[in-house]
Structure 1
Amino acid sequence: MTLKVGFIGTGGIAKAHLNNLAKIQEADVTAFFDINFEKAQKEAQAWTSAKAYTDVNEMLDDRQLDAVYICVPPMAHGEAENAVIERGIPFLVEKPLGIDNRPTEILKKIEQKKIITSVGFHWRYQEATRRALDLLNERKLGMSLGYWMGGMPMVPWWRVLTESGGQFVEQTTHIVDLLRYLSGEVVEVFAAYSQRVMHEKVEGTTVADVGTVTMKLENGSIATISNTCISPVGHKVGLDLYTDQGILEISSAGLKDIKADTVTEYKETVSPYFVEDEVFINAVLTGDSSKILSDYRDALITHNVTLAANKSAEIGKPINLKELSHT
């Protein structure tokens, strides 16, 4: 069986998924929507039976799709999800889920219709992550340090707080999600953000360009995740786990297991993006979503941690996640 797949949004991350789907025999991309119709047309030309659309609802009704990828900027979430959910179509949506609390209402609709979902937290699919999980079964975690240290993506919406949600929501959410997956649930956050450089260098910048978030976890461990977008060179992106037997360093390149007398490195051999797409397509084909590592419900927890961090930075006080969930 071949699945008819549609795309809402044709930016850089959409192209990464498209490259993967071209290698998955069971997936046939047949429809594209983008607010820039020319971009949708260009992508459609690469697929034998694909068509470009200027309206999401027309696309969904015309093509009778089996699965949809939603790859839109943070502020654009909501309309696309609702249109797909209304028709009961399984979907993979890229992070972040949005910039506000609307994903909570979207989740209710998903669960009413029992729709298969996947969210683009590809770090969960890394071989390094799986190996770290296994090693943590034999070790006691004390604390975690996370990083996203680099430069500012120059897409206009990224530097506007009301459009991207800021770096912690839009980008560093990957590290927050990895922390949750490996270290446990976050119960409290205390954040400090500042504007140091980019608001002077790039006109229209309203996002903070440095920030640190300290977290208490349910299991008693603590974590700090820092990010910056002021650097002219890319630096550290990943998560370090400090345990009673040494340090586990996770990056996109793989895992480094540092002990008192040995350092063992494990390099990534498979693209986690590809694994993520393969798992999603297989889940839609079989109806078995058990291998999806981040569905919408789970991703919403990560989203709420990042929103709580923004709120903490705004008011200058810690935010208790459990109290927040009851307000």
Structure 2
Amino acid sequence: MSVKIGMIGAGGIARSHLSKLQKIEQATIVSIYDVNRDSAVQAAESVGARAADDVDSLLNPNEIDAVFICTPQFARDDLEERAARKGIHVFVEKPLGLDLETVQRKEKAIAESGIIHSVGYCLRYFDTVLKAKEYLQGRTIHLVQAQRFGTTHPALWWRTQSMSGGHLADAVTHQVDMVRFLAGDYRDVTAQFGSNSIAGVFPDATIADAGAVTFSLKSGAVGTITESCVSPYHGGSEVKFFGPDFFVHLTGNGKTLTIADKEEKVTLTSTQDPSLEQDKAFVEAVATGSREPILCGYADGMQTLAFSLAAHRAAELGSKVTL
């Protein structure tokens, strides 16, 4: 079965999905909409699709089976609900939004509609990450350490807290999600965010340039997440899991996995493109009607967002916030 796809958004992440979808035999890109008409036309021409005049004309169940929603988190409005009401399957980029109540309302509408849904936490699809999940199953983790360092995003909206949610919600959300995926749900969080340097790079920025987050998991494990978006001379990411008889280390956003225990120490580096694997899984799920290939649905992605929002709330309150 060919899966007919519409794309809302024609920016960098949307174009990345378009390039992946062109490699998937079952996927047919039908239409693209963006508030910037020229961007939509250029993207559509590059894949042999049409540029839709507006969202309503794109969200036509007679023309598409599924839609990729790739607008920034501040510009989603009620797109997911509109698609769900029409029975159109939905892929949504992370993070799901900036307000938990709004996202909860959308999750309810999606669940009630029965559509297939997926959220863009692509790192879950690395074979190395799945091997780590298999290894950690049933083992006792007592400490988690995660970090992500890098440089700023060029978009004005990204450096505006009310539009992006900050570095933790927008980018480090991948590490937040990896901890959940591999070690279980969060129980509580405390956090501090600083802004010592970002004004020197972007005087109009309202996001923090660094964050130090501590948390506990429902399992009883404790951990930290440290992050900075103003780190031009040192970048990268890693997540470490410590147990009494093992150590698991994921680096490069999950691309490389090291497992050490009393039996052996093994390092594996993935050759997969997790974004391609993610898009394949969504297309396959729509084609077959089975959600099984999808590793992160909307409710799951909502829980990852809840942690980031809770961390900022904890920083504002100066106290622990329970999830």
- After TM superposition, the score normalised by the length of structure 1 is 0.94
- 2:311 is matched with 309
Q: Which moved more, 1:57-66 or 1:16-25?
A: 57-66
**Matching of residue 2 in structure 1 with residue 6 in structure 2:** no
The within-5 A match list for 1:21-36 is 21-36=21-36
Cα displacement (A) at 1:83: 2.1
**Matching of residue 90 in structure 1 with residue 89 in structure 2:** yes
**Matching of residue 161 in structure 1 with residue 155 in structure 2:** no
Cα displacement (A) at 1:260: 6.7
**Matching of residue 45 in structure 1 with residue 39 in structure 2:** no
Within the candidate set 260, 264, 267, 1:265 is matched to 267
- 1:205 is matched with 205
- The alpha-carbon distance between structure 1 residues 63 and 30, as it changes in their structure 2 partners (threshold 3 A), is farther
Cα displacement (A) at 1:94: 0.3
Cα displacement (A) at 1:54: 3.3
What is the distance in 1 between the residues matched to 2:72 and 2:62?
Answer: 24
Structure 1: gaps (5+ residues): 322-327
Cα displacement (A) at 1:139: 3.5
- The alpha-carbon distance between structure 1 residues 62 and 142, as it changes in their structure 2 partners (threshold 3 A), is closer
Cα displacement (A) at 1:304: 0.7
Residue 271 of structure 1 aligns to which amino acid in structure 2?
A: D
- 1:241 is matched with 241
Where 2:46 maps in the other structure, the secondary structure is coil
Residue 212 of structure 1 aligns to which amino acid in structure 2?
A: A
Where 2:60 maps in the other structure, the secondary structure is helix
- The alpha-carbon distance between structure 1 residues 138 and 185, as it changes in their structure 2 partners (threshold 3 A), is closer
Task: Provide Cα deviations, 1:47-87, integer angstroms capped at 9, x if missing partner.
Answer: 33x11023101222386210100001111123322221221
Task: Provide Cα deviations, 1:81-138, integer angstroms capped at 9, x if missing partner.
Answer: 2221221100110000011121110011111111110000011111111111122136
Task: Provide Cα deviations, 1:260-282, integer angstroms capped at 9, x if missing partner.
Answer: 78542101121111111111001
* 8 Å Cα contact 1:30-1:63 kept in structure 2: no
**Matching of residue 59 in structure 1 with residue 61 in structure 2:** no
Aligned-pair identity in percent equals: 32
What is the distance in 2 between the residues matched to 1:92 and 1:254?
Answer: 27
What is the distance in 1 between the residues matched to 2:122 and 2:318?
Answer: 32
Residue 256 of structure 2 aligns to which amino acid in structure 1?
A: G
What is the distance in 1 between the residues matched to 2:273 and 2:165?
Answer: 28
* 8 Å Cα contact 1:139-1:245 kept in structure 2: no
Where 1:28 maps in the other structure, the secondary structure is strand
* 8 Å Cα contact 2:188-2:322 kept in structure 1: yes
What is the distance in 2 between the residues matched to 1:245 and 1:291?
Answer: 32
What is the distance in 1 between the residues matched to 2:61 and 2:293?
Answer: 30
* 8 Å Cα contact 2:81-2:110 kept in structure 1: no
What is the distance in 2 between the residues matched to 1:267 and 1:96?
Answer: 27
Cα displacement (A) at 1:42: 0.6
- 1:250 is matched with 250
- 1:325 is matched with none
Between the two proteins, the alignment pairs up a number of residues equal to 320
Post-superposition, which runs of at least 4 consecutive aligned residues in structure 1 deviate over 4 A?
259-262
CA RMSD of aligned residues (A): 1.5
Where 1:46 maps in the other structure, the secondary structure is helix
Residue 129 of structure 1 aligns to which amino acid in structure 2?
A: V
**Matching of residue 296 in structure 1 with residue 295 in structure 2:** no
Cα displacement (A) at 1:287: 0.6
Residue 198 of structure 1 aligns to which amino acid in structure 2?
A: I
The within-5 A match list for 1:132-281 is 132-137=132-137, 139-251=139-251, 252=253, 253-259=255-261, 263-281=265-283
**Matching of residue 72 in structure 1 with residue 74 in structure 2:** no
Residue 74 of structure 2 aligns to which amino acid in structure 1?
A: M
What is the distance in 1 between the residues matched to 2:262 and 2:211?
Answer: 32
Cα displacement (A) at 1:140: 2.2
Q: Which moved more, 1:262-271 or 1:122-131?
A: 262-271
* 8 Å Cα contact 1:128-1:254 kept in structure 2: yes
* 8 Å Cα contact 2:61-2:86 kept in structure 1: no
* 8 Å Cα contact 1:209-1:229 kept in structure 2: yes
Residue 79 of structure 1 aligns to which amino acid in structure 2?
A: D
Cα displacement (A) at 1:222: 0.7
What is the distance in 1 between the residues matched to 2:107 and 2:174?
Answer: 20
Residue 20 of structure 2 aligns to which amino acid in structure 1?
A: N
Residue 76 of structure 2 aligns to which amino acid in structure 1?
A: H
